[in-house]
Amino acid sequence: MAATNGSIFGAMLQEFDGAARILNLEPGIWKILTHPKRQITVSCPIQMDNGEIEVFTGYRVQYNITLGPAKGGIRYHPGVTLDEVTALAAWMTWKCAVAHIPFGGGKGGVICDPTKMSKREIEALTRRYVAEIVDAIGPEKDVPAPDVNTNAQIMAWVMDTYSMHVGHTTTSVVTGKPVELGGSLGRREATGRGLMIATRESARHVGFDIKGATVAIQGFGNVGSVSADLLMREAGAIIVGVVDWKGGVFNAKGLDVPKLIEYAQQHHTVDGFPGADPLNCENLFKLDVDVLIPAALENQITMDNAPAIRAKVIIEGANGPTTPDANRHLHDRGVFIVPDILANSSGVTTSYFEWVQDRYGYFWTEKEVNERLEAKMCEAFGAVLQTSLKYKVDMRTAAYIVAINRVAIVTRMRGMYA
Ligand code: NAD
């Protein structure tokens, strides 16, 4: 999402306002939903490997907990700011509400550069950060997850530190854990699987056959590679173009995705994959395909490249890949865009499944996880599509309308505590 006067939270408010106006949201609820419930700032002193003490600043924001515990990742990055963490926590609120799972929105961040830290230093920082916010998190309060530069191992340390503080093992305090430690089967593939479902449902709505449909994908990490694989193997689509940070490949007859995944694992890029022509990002966007999936970074589809886009459907795997003006331009041209808060919501839906399984102490098979995910994703897609048709708005505005309305209804029902 593009920043407004440099504020990412300002950009979130812009998207909120558009939908809230259509909903005729009353001023009181409007005010509540545009203020973070709680912003926590902590200082985390760590003894570094060279013996010196460094103090790292960390944040945890619980934007809204009306529907349930806050849910959202923890990112480790030198550029983390409270404004960014607050905006991301707000977006998690809307994403969980669209996905129709009983969670509010939260996000955490620590200002650090993990690429310059040892494993021991990262573990020490994680444990101290969790100790500093330990009273604010918990299965009923706030359930963190991985985000930029954090992973399953770091989530295991989060779970262990919290468990040490409360005196008993509490797996459901965090999601994205290793499967051996209460993680869910199917979590790794969940976001890509949701993208495949969103693509299939979009094709049905727009009126083309997903079997044999052509797809171009920007980014071939977790989200891009899994959605490519499932679109090919389970939906029968043809993946003709893929680009990543280094380069890209094109084959009009379709790329062999399992082989491309193997190649990318070995070479850390798809660039140079045999049996395909080279492709760059600029040309990927110009391809005459049915579906375009941005699954890399934010702000990739802008007014510089949007006029050349020929895809009928855009499925936003990444968060915020389309700028607001490019979104308007594409919508006006009749391109069907499935927004990030809907398209990539299967990640958090499966985190919800992980939390449910941990609380039950009873674990589902991968087939059960996938079946439930299919049902939740189709439900969410259907609700947003119906809203878009009812209000005659694009899918992004419709997703916000669904989300804001769900939180607003419960806010009214719960009433004021004062
Ligand atoms: P990842 O790090 O596994 O993969 C990112 C991919 O983007 C890599 O292939 C990388 O080479 C490529 N890339 C980086 N810079 C690029 C550039 N300039 N041009 C083209 N490609 C570039 O990340 P991921 O987990 O696949 O996440 C991708 C996006 O999806 C992010 O925006 C993330 O926030 C979002 N997302 C991920 C999940 C999830 O469950 N993993 C859930 C929701 C949203």
* pLDDT reported for residue 5: 63
Mean pLDDT of 83-109: 97
Query: How does strand 277-278 pair with strand 291-294?
Result: unpaired
Q: What is the CA radius of gyration of the chain?
A: 21
Rounded-to-integer distance, Cα 118 and Cα 112, Å: 12
Mean pLDDT of 119-123: 98
Nearest ligand 1 atom to the CA of 319 is 32
* pLDDT reported for residue 51: 98
For ligand 1, atom 23, name the residue with the nearest CA.
221
Write out the CATH class of domain 188-343: alpha beta
CA–centroid distance, residue 138 to ligand 1 (Å) = 28
* pLDDT reported for residue 382: 98
Q: How confident is the model at residue 298 (pLDDT cuts 50, 70, 90)?
A: confident
Rounded-to-integer distance, Cα 379 and Cα 99, Å: 8
Do domains 35-173 and 188-343 share one topology? The answer is yes
**What percent of the chain lies above the pLDDT cut of 70?**
99
**φ, ψ at 230 (rounded to 5°):** -70, -35
Q: What is the pLDDT of residues 185-207, one digit of tens each?
A: 999 999 999 999 999 999 999 99
Looking at the DSSP bridge assignments, the partners of residue 314 are 292, 337
* pLDDT reported for residue 2: 43
Nearest ligand 1 atom to the CA of 246 is 11
* pLDDT reported for residue 7: 84
Indicate which residues carry an active-site annotation: 107
Cα angle vertex 134, ends 132, 136, to 5°? 105
> Could you state, in order of their start, the residue ranges of all structural domains in the chain?
35-173, 188-343
Nearest ligand 1 atom to the CA of 147 is 34
CA–centroid distance, residue 319 to ligand 1 (Å) = 9
Concatenated DSSP letters of 226-243? HHHHHHHHTT--EEEEEE
For ligand 1, atom 30, name the residue with the nearest CA.
318
Rounded-to-integer distance, Cα 13 and Cα 260, Å: 40
CA–centroid distance, residue 223 to ligand 1 (Å) = 6
Rounded-to-integer distance, Cα 30 and Cα 106, Å: 19
The four Cα atoms 92, 93, 95, 101 give a dihedral, to 10 degrees, of 120
Mean pLDDT of 155-162: 98
For ligand 1, atom 36, name the residue with the nearest CA.
318
Q: Can you tell me whether residue 366 is helix, strand or coil?
A: helix
Query: What is 35-173's CATH number, 3.90.1150.220, 3.40.50.300, 3.40.630.30, 3.40.50.10860?
Result: 3.40.50.10860
For ligand 1, atom 8, name the residue with the nearest CA.
221
CA–centroid distance, residue 317 to ligand 1 (Å) = 8
Test site for ligand 1: of 147, 222, 299, most ligand atoms within 8 A of the Cβ: 222
Rounded-to-integer distance, Cα 86 and Cα 151, Å: 21
For ligand 1, atom 25, name the residue with the nearest CA.
222
**Ligand 1 pocket list (CB less than 6 A):** 191, 218-224, 243-245, 281, 295-297, 317-319, 344, 347
For residue 1, pLDDT beyond 70: no
Alpha-helical segments (H) within 304-365? 324-332, 340-343, 346-360
Q: Which of 29, 183, 145, 9 is nearest to 87 (CA)?
A: 9
Q: Can you tell me whether residue 65 is helix, strand or coil?
A: coil
pTM above 0.75, yes or no: yes
For ligand 1, atom 19, name the residue with the nearest CA.
245
Q: What is the DSSP letter of 138?
A: B
Give the mean pLDDT of the chain. Answer: 96
Which helix (DSSP H) or strand (DSSP E) does residue 211 occupy? none
Q: What is the pLDDT of residues 358-415, one digit of tens each?
A: 999 999 999 999 999 999 999 999 999 999 999 999 999 999 999 999 999 999 999 9
Mean pLDDT of 297-305: 93
* pLDDT reported for residue 3: 46
* pLDDT reported for residue 4: 59
Rounded-to-integer distance, Cα 347 and Cα 189, Å: 8
Q: What is the DSSP letter of 184?
A: P
CA–centroid distance, residue 189 to ligand 1 (Å) = 13
Largest distance between two CA atoms of the chain = 67
Place of tokens 């802008």: 302
Q: How confident is the model at residue 221 (pLDDT cuts 50, 70, 90)?
A: very high
Cα angle vertex 70, ends 69, 74, to 5°? 140
Looking at the DSSP bridge assignments, the partners of residue 4 are 7
CA–centroid distance, residue 352 to ligand 1 (Å) = 21
Query: How does strand 248-250 pair with strand 142-146?
Result: unpaired
Q: How confident is the model at residue 11 (pLDDT cuts 50, 70, 90)?
A: confident
